[in-house]
Structure 1
Amino acid sequence: MKTLDAGLVAHLLGGVTTLCHCWRVARKDGAVLGFTDHDRDLVIEGVTYKAATGFTATAIEDQLGLAVSNLDVDGALSSAAITEDDLNAGLYDDAAVIIMRVNWQDVSQRVILRSGFLGQVTRGEAAFSAELRGLAAKLDQSAGRVFQRTCAWELGDSRCQIDLGAPAHHGTGTVVSVISSFDFTASGIGSFVPGIFSRGKIVWTSGDNAGLAVEVKAHSQGAPNAWLSLFLPMPRPIEVGDTFDITAGCDKRLETCRDRFANVVNFGGFPHMPGNDFALGYARQGDNNDGGSLFSSG
């Protein structure tokens, strides 16, 4: 149940209303944007809610449980506030959203209709559509320890304890040639072992993509430059001369943890966990069927 401001209650009971919707979007980079379906800008608590920005929402419908609600937010990519480059850069991913019903004649009279986070964003040629997930959707996500054969830790976190700032796991490079939106060659990292940056991360330090990060799909060494392939294209073109920081990657296998990082003591997986093939297996003549460990070296 929502508690309405006394002034808003009186306004609603007056017969004729002057109401509109306002959306407040707080991105992870700290930017706060406001939008309204009113025909002029409104200022609420220091945030200007822009009119005519091509930002509209479907009907709001609440439901029981943790399922994602049916509310979608649609907008025009031509808007000065929301650009295709910002969407491609992920600036709106998981952005916090507040939807309010506001008396545009007195913006102090307002009520919050929904709070949540932007979910899946789909883009067309001239517009985008974003799914708004309620606060309860966070409870529908898996939490806690995951038991699996591969490592559950993130390379370099407090449980892994690998120092990604160490010279053996970190480098700086410069783009020498651009092959495609995914692939390019770079100088400055030619001394590293081939493949060490596969599944690693690039953070651009100059160029149009400065400050953005992306995961490396593959890394190989050439003469004299290294070849890098990205999982996703950058939102803005990569140019020759762009510089970046790059850190090592890990495929989370026990062999990689042992041979590349010498960090088996902190390995977060269970490589000897029986799988479906083991559960469905059967004893065969000539196999080691004495009940002992299948992984013993003796």
Structure 2
Amino acid sequence: MTDLSTTRCTAWAITRADGTTLGFTDHDADLTFAGLTFRAASGMTASTLAQGSGLSVDNAEGFGTLTADAMREADIRAGHFDGADVKIWQVNWQAPAVRQQIFHGTLGEITLEGGAWRAELRGAAEALSRPLGRSYQRGCAAVLGDAACGFDLSTPGFTADTTLRSATETRLTLPAIDAAPRWFERGQVQILSGAAAGLTATIKTDEAAGDTRILTLWSPLAITPEPDAQIRLLPGCDKRMATCRAKFGNLPNYRGFPHIPGEDWLRAIPKSGASGESLFQ
């Protein structure tokens, strides 16, 4: 009888959002099963999986080396592996048909460390820890353009497609745009072409200066886009009812509670007075 303790290895399958599936193994030779080749040259391994009963979240870490044709630094920085589907098996490398799936979840935050990558492995129960329901708050709880908001961002005059003149990590210089200054503050910039294609960032400030539009970002893009890259600008929303009405004409879908009593009302005390006067001071 074969001693499985000496013929057992681990195999990982990572499926990105674009449908690309990559296979890795800690065995010293490639394995093939389930229609996928699991490569031994990846240097990938994982910490011990913390698996429990019930609905606890079973999280661990995966780490490996950067390679030119698998886990490339540019793809990681561009976000292609964010939220990727992960499956892990224990496999008998002498007979790959003898295997057991021990994990199914997603990749969490990925960090780069001197030619290697490290990522949190989030178990399938992770989704159960997300808060549900609405918050009772003054500002709108919807995200501009989502199902709750209902506003169509493709409406003419609200978004803008243009070409980048120059860029640093947090500053983008563009040609003049037919939109009011500060129109895109709190909105998003989407990179549509070049090495940074697919990246998005939130706009902190939006300034018009003659024939130039200057955007400052809240945080740097993982890859600085090159000049002449195509970009798309989405309008910003400050979550106020007045903005929803005046800028977007979308007041029926406002998802806030602007008439919540403030702290002054909560501290008010009763007072006596004539009929029709306020009973609080």
Structure 1 residue corresponding to 2:218, chosen from 207, 231, 234: 231
TM-score by structure 2 length?
0.88
Q: Deviations over 1:186-221 (max 9, x none)?
A: 0152x2011111122222232222343333232121
Is 1:35 paired with 2:53?
no
Structure 2 residue corresponding to 1:172, chosen from 146, 161, 164: 161
User: SS at the partner of 1:256?
Assistant: helix
Is 1:45 paired with 2:45?
no
TM-score by structure 1 length?
0.83
1:184 aligned partner: 172
Is 1:82 paired with 2:71?
yes
Give the residue type in structure 1 aligned to 2:267: G
| In 1: Cα distance, 2:53 partner to 2:153 partner | 44
Q: CA RMSD in A?
A: 2.7
Do the aligned partners of residues 198 and 77 (structure 1) sit closer, same or farther apart at CA in structure 2, a change above 3 Å counting? same
Give the residue type in structure 2 aligned to 1:29: D
- For these two proteins, the number of residue pairs brought into alignment is 278
Structure 1: unaligned runs, 5 residues or longer: 1-12
2:195 aligned partner: 208
User: SS at the partner of 1:166?
Assistant: coil
1:214-253 alignment, distance < 5 Å = 214-253=201-240
| In 2: Cα distance, 1:134 partner to 1:206 partner | 33
Do the aligned partners of residues 286 and 250 (structure 1) sit closer, same or farther apart at CA in structure 2, a change above 3 Å counting? farther
| In 1: Cα distance, 2:117 partner to 2:147 partner | 38
Q: Could you tell me whether the CA contact under 8 Å between 1:174 and 1:188 is conserved in 2?
A: no
Give the residue type in structure 1 aligned to 2:278: D
2:185 aligned partner: 198
Deviation for aligned residue 1:284: 8.8
Give the residue type in structure 1 aligned to 2:70: A
Is 1:281 paired with 2:270?
no
Do the aligned partners of residues 124 and 41 (structure 1) sit closer, same or farther apart at CA in structure 2, a change above 3 Å counting? same
User: SS at the partner of 1:81?
Assistant: coil
User: SS at the partner of 2:206?
Assistant: strand
Deviation for aligned residue 1:92: 1.6
User: SS at the partner of 1:130?
Assistant: strand
- Higher mean displacement: 93-102 or 253-262: 253-262
Is 1:142 paired with 2:131?
yes
2:152 aligned partner: 163
Do the aligned partners of residues 89 and 290 (structure 1) sit closer, same or farther apart at CA in structure 2, a change above 3 Å counting? same
Q: Could you tell me whether the CA contact under 8 Å between 1:53 and 1:80 is conserved in 2?
A: no
